[in-house]
Structure 1
């Protein structure tokens, strides 16, 4: 039995974004329990040159919707990076999940050889669909979800591996 490009992408993004949403819910509950302003969480970073929590969520969501769109050969919706609160970040994830649900397996399956071109500041990067998914999009996506988890865990939010894995 083989796995399809769709199975290796959209359901993975949906599951992990749902887990990230749960993680943000736990962060909001922790802030309330500790009497902490949850707005401070948005600017969390572990190093001065690191992007804050808000950016980690933006990039995870954008990577998921961008990957699905590129593999499907369609234009991804643009979401401005204006969210600052945990509730707004939750809404960003929900919009991304709603978009991912519009992508049908038939749009992505068979995209292994589709050319994917990323326009980066350092110049264009060219991939085949499968190389883009496996060597760029998925690692980038998981990096940013993991970083968001780590920032909140470091802040004392009671998170564990099962929260990250989405097993509730």
Structure 2
């Protein structure tokens, strides 16, 4: 499979991180206007067995850094853990954006078939393009969409256009 790995990872994730910033901004504005605490906002979820808003954003940041790292055979950045505050989440988004800004298209050239091994309870190895498009992009989009859905469920003034805060 031939893919533009730079555009489908760094390009998409950079725009998605801008969307994550927008989701947090809108959720925070709603929380303040309605008297909701920051912790209550960040701990909100759509169902008891799903990640709360805080963890959805953390996962977005993790995928934005880890997928390109795997594609390039770089050491994996550590996954985010803990109960990050709104300010800490914003800082992690900025760190992820800075990480992506340091990657160049030529680093991804010819890597479509490079093996990428990852674990989801068991080790799986896929060609880089299949991993990027079939696993990385799907998961990043899912968690970004869930963050948006949680903010919307809370009552934040957020709409479909906010999903494209980082551009198309």
Query: Which stretches in structure 2 are left out of the alignment for 5+ residues?
Result: none
Residue in 2 that maps onto 1:94 = 94
Q: Which runs of 4+ in 1 moved over 3 A?
A: none
Shift in Å, 1:114: 0.6
1:1-168 maps to which residues of 2 (within 5 A)?
A: 4-121=4-121, 123-166=122-165
Query: Which stretches in structure 1 are left out of the alignment for 5+ residues?
Result: none
Shift in Å, 1:160: 0.5
Higher relative contact order (CA 8 A, sep 6+): 2
Q: Higher mean Cα deviation, 90-99 or 133-142?
A: 90-99
Q: CA RMSD in A?
A: 1.7
1:71-102 C-alpha deviation (Å, 9 max, x unpaired): 11211322541343222211111111111111
Is residue 83–residue 92 contact of structure 1 (8 Å, CA) maintained in 2?
no
Aligned counterparts of 1:17 and 1:23: Cα–Cα separation in 2: 10
Aligned counterparts of 1:94 and 1:52: Cα–Cα separation in 2: 20
Aligned counterparts of 2:83 and 2:90: Cα–Cα separation in 1: 9
Aligned counterparts of 1:5 and 1:94: Cα–Cα separation in 2: 22
Q: Number of matched residues?
A: 166
Q: Higher mean Cα deviation, 26-35 or 127-136?
A: 26-35
